[in-house]
């Protein structure tokens, strides 16, 4: 039985599948050639990340296909309900990358709080000739300890991000229309555990209270953060979007930065991915990464193993 990991899969995932008797193909097939490739090679399982799209054309015209797997959380690049109506299994790995995304968010937050994103651009250019000027420019950093983190979307990734915030000494406020309360358990290196109960509040209250804001919501029709939402925020807030491109109005974000409402912001995802707007790429108040939230060795290992286990379980029943 053949598995096509079109956007790649970790070696640990390959090993687990091959040990169970599957042939794993890691060739990256172009979108327009994917349907023919699946049929010519009688592929039973198609694994994708965010690059490959699995729409009705593939679902309807690839009779050998039994499972579609998404290495990650969001499945907006797959016609999930249609596939399931046609009898295909659709799986993903919602827990595997939670901590890696959370750490990336805090990497951005710490960098933005101390202007690392900009000083790392300018020190190589001006560090010898304008050391004192740069020192003055980056002298008004802020600490995260004692500040309030607002989390929009309090599922697995939102909760993982909140745990890091609690460990850093921050207060956490959260909004989620489907979750009223969550118990967060922090595990420490010596086996000790500390638990926190977080009750969600309204989105408006989160925006008003937070010094730092992070989004962990699925792709949706409307912006989660638009101009009216920026107006509710504290002046000088720092914001991060490592969820999905299109949940933050990027034009409104740039305006909010220009007005001082938003001091600085981090984007790991973009409305026009993979070609972000040039005004974002050149904005010195933005800390940018190319959709690498889940791109750690540890997360990719967990994703590969979790996909393999689900595939083996489905096919053996």
At 170-214, the pLDDT tens digits run: 999 999 999 999 999 999 999 999 999 999 999 999 999 999 999
Beta bridge partners of 90: 68
Asked if the bond preceding 274 is cis, omega within 30° of 0, the reply is yes
The stretches in the chain having pLDDT less than 70 are: none
- The reported pLDDT for the residue numbered 69 is 97
Question: Would you state the structure tokens that stand for residue 108, as one six-digit string?
Answer: 């951005």
- The answer to whether residue 291 is catalytic is yes
Q: How many residues does the chain have?
A: 317
3-state DSSP call for residue 303? helix
Highest CATH level, class, for 98-288: alpha beta
- The reported pLDDT for the residue numbered 54 is 97
How many Cβ atoms from other residues are within 10 Å of residue 69's Cβ?
Answer: 29
Q: Are 53 and 6 in contact (CB under 8 A)?
A: no
- The answer to whether residue 49 is catalytic is no
- The reported pLDDT for the residue numbered 173 is 98
Sheet with 67-70: list strands edge to edge: 23-25, 2-5, 43-48, 67-70, 89-92
- The reported pLDDT for the residue numbered 94 is 84
Task: Tell me the per-residue pLDDT of 267-313, one tens digit each, with 9 for 90 and over.
Answer: 999 999 999 999 999 999 999 999 999 899 999 999 999 999 999 99
CA atoms within 13 A on the CB side of 175: 17
Catalytic-role residue among 103, 273, 277, 309: 273
For the chain, domain boundaries: 2-94+297-316, 98-288
Catalytic-role residue among 244, 264, 302, 306: 244
- The answer to whether residue 244 is catalytic is yes
- The reported pLDDT for the residue numbered 72 is 86
Catalytic-role residue among 250, 291, 302, 306: 291
- The reported pLDDT for the residue numbered 227 is 98
Closest CA to 241 of 283, 271, 207: 271
Q: Which residues does 236 contact at the CB level (< 8 Å), separation at least 6?
A: 260, 261, 262, 263
Q: Which CATH number fits domain 2-94+297-316: 3.40.50.300, 2.60.40.3080, 3.40.50.720, 3.50.50.60?
A: 3.40.50.720
């Amino acid at each position: 039985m053949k598995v096509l990991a079109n956007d790649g899969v970790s070696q640990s995932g390959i090993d687990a599948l091959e040990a169970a008797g599957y042939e794993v193909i890691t060739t990256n097939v172009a979108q327009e050639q994917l349907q023919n490739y699946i049929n010519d090679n009688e592929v039973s399982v198609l694994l994708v990340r965010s690059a490959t799209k699995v729409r009705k054309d593939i679902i309807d015209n690839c009779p050998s296909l039994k499972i579609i797997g998404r290495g990650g959380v969001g499945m907006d690049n797959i016609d999930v309900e249609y596939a399931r109506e046609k009898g295909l299994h659709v799986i993903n790995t919602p827990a595997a990358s939670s901590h890696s995304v959370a750490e990336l968010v805090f990497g951005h937050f710490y960098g933005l709080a101390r202007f690392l994103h900009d000083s790392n651009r300018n020190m190589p250019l001006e560090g010898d000739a304008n050391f004192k000027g740069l020192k003055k420019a980056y002298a008004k950093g802020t600490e995260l300890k004692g500040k309030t983190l607002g989390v929009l979307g309090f599922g697995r990734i939102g909760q993982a991000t909140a745990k890091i915030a609690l460990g850093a000494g921050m207060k956490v406020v959260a909004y989620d229309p489907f979750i009223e309360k969550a118990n967060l358990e922090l595990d420490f290196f010596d086996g000790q555990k500390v638990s926190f109960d977080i009750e969600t509040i309204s989105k408006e209250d989160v925006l008003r209270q937070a010094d730092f804001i992070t989004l962990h919501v699925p792709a949706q029709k409307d912006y989660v953060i638009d101009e009216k939402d920026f107006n509710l925020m504290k002046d000088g807030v720092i914001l991060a979007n490592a969820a999905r491109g299109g949940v933050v109005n990027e034009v409104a974000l740039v305006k909010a930065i220009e007005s001082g409402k938003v001091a600085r912001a981090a984007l790991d995802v973009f409305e026009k991915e993979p070609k972000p707007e040039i005004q974002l790429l050149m904005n010195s108040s933005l800390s940018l990464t190319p959709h690498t939230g889940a791109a750690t060795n540890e997360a990719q290992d967990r994703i590969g193993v979790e996909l393999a286990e689900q595939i083996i379980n489905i096919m053996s029943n």
